[in-house]
């Protein structure tokens, strides 16, 4: 009887050891798999073959309908403070010259006042509503919708309604406030603060695959507006200006344009310009190593264009340190 009890105890210990061993092995496997997945998602890839260092808007083209109407590649597709919707005109030869050959398709004011347009490689135009001094022409339920102007017909129509994290609170009249295009991956990036409130940051940066018209990846809980993709030797990054701080951040992109990993701080704009509290409203990469940032105040309230003071800043990329250095500081 005693031997039997001893044998049972011994068996139990052996079972425990066996289960412990299996448990450790399982944990190791989970850890390794998790690490691999995390690494793939966060690590930057070397820039893929065929992609060039610098900005990624080289392929953007003039809409076909505009060429058919006699506009050349220098024509300007514009949205401005006083005219509702989108319109096109010939580039003035001199500053201050009256606009010539101005055209607006009947559908181009259907979505109210609009933010800056972005063209794709085929000449399709993507725009999002951007309220000016009121929401009369920009109802809240349209603020998270991207509209597309067809390159062939010139018609503006709803393209995609982006999902949002929270309903639009009365304290925040904005939705999509930034768009950028990447020719390498045919991706459209949209920054939206739809649903964000004073005490809750619910903004999302979306990657929309223009081949499928679907949202392929998202970066959540970040309120941003100025967007731009830049190819470094170490890989693609999406740069974005925060709306709550005078800071520019970035996040790695895969070769397929997918947003990967965690965002990282790039530089602060605190103290820049006359006001010292500019936010990066617009980010454009001009040459292989040049970033243009348009800064202005942003307080989640509406503002007339005549009231907005904007300052342009230029930065140059230092590939050795993988950082951006301001070039235009008069105090330096």
Interacting residues with other proteins (CB under 8 A): 82, 132-136, 139-140, 170-173, 197-198, 245-246, 270-271, 274-277, 297, 299-304, 306-307, 309, 330, 332
Q: How many CA atoms lie within 13 A of 256 on its CB side?
A: 10
Shortest reach from residue 41's CB to other proteins, in Å: 31
**For residues 72 and 275, which CB has a smaller minimum distance to other proteins in the complex?**
275
228 touches 55 (CB < 8 A) = yes
**For residues 132 and 281, which CB has a smaller minimum distance to other proteins in the complex?**
132
Sign of CA dihedral 67, 72, 74, 76: negative
Judging by beta carbons within 10 Å of its beta carbon (0-12, 13-18, 19+), is residue 306 exposed, middle or buried? exposed
**For residues 168 and 180, which CB has a smaller minimum distance to other proteins in the complex?**
168
What are the backbone angles phi and psi of residue 249, rounded to the nearest 5°?
-120, 175
Nearest residue to 220 (alpha-carbon basis) of 211, 207, 209: 207
Please tell me whether residue 11 adopts helix, strand or coil conformation: helix
> 53 CB contacts (<8 Å, ≥6 apart)?
47, 231, 232, 233, 288
Torsion angle, alpha carbons of 19, 21, 22, 23, to 10: 80
Shortest reach from residue 24's CB to other proteins, in Å: 32
**For residues 145 and 172, which CB has a smaller minimum distance to other proteins in the complex?**
172
Shortest reach from residue 36's CB to other proteins, in Å: 37
**For residues 239 and 272, which CB has a smaller minimum distance to other proteins in the complex?**
272
Q: What is the rounded distance in angstroms from the CA atom of residue 45 to the CA atom of residue 38?
A: 13
**For residues 133 and 323, which CB has a smaller minimum distance to other proteins in the complex?**
133
């Amino acid at each position: 009887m005693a031997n039997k009890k001893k044998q049972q105890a011994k068996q139990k210990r052996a079972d425990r050891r066996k289960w412990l061993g299996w448990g450790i092995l399982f944990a190791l496997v989970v850890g390794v798999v998790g690490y691999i997945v995390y690494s793939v998602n966060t690590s930057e890839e070397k820039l893929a073959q065929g992609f060039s260092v610098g900005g990624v808007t080289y392929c953007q083209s003039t809409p076909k309908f505009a060429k058919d109407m006699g506009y050349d590649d220098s024509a300007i597709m514009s949205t401005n403070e006083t005219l509702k919707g989108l319109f096109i005109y010939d580039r003035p030869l001199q500053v201050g010259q009256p606009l010539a050959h101005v055209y607006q398709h009947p559908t181009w004011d259907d979505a109210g006042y609009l933010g800056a347009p972005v063209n794709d490689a085929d000449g399709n135009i993507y725009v999002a509503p951007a309220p000016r001094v009121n929401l009369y022409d920009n109802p809240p339920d349209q603020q998270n919708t991207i509209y597309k102007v067809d390159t062939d017909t010139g018609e503006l129509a709803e393209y995609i309604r982006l999902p949002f994290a929270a309903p639009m609170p009365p304290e925040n009249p904005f939705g999509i406030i930034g768009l950028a295009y990447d020719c390498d991956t045919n991706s459209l990036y949209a920054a939206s603060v739809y649903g964000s409130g004073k005490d809750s940051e619910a903004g999302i940066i979306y990657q929309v695959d223009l081949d499928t018209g679907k949202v392929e990846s998202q970066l959540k809980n970040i309120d941003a507006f100025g967007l731009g993709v830049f190819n470094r030797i170490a890989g693609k990054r999406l740069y974005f200006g925060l709306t709550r701080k005078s800071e520019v951040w970035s996040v790695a992109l895969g070769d397929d344009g997918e947003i990967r990993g965690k965002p990282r701080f790039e530089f602060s704009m605190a103290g820049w310009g006359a006001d010292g509290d500019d936010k990066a409203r617009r980010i454009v990469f001009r040459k292989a190593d040049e970033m243009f940032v348009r800064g202005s105040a942003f307080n989640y309230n509406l503002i007339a264009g005549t009231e907005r003071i904007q300052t342009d800043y230029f930065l140059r990329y230092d590939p050795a340190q993988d950082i951006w250095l301001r070039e235009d500081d008069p105090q330096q």
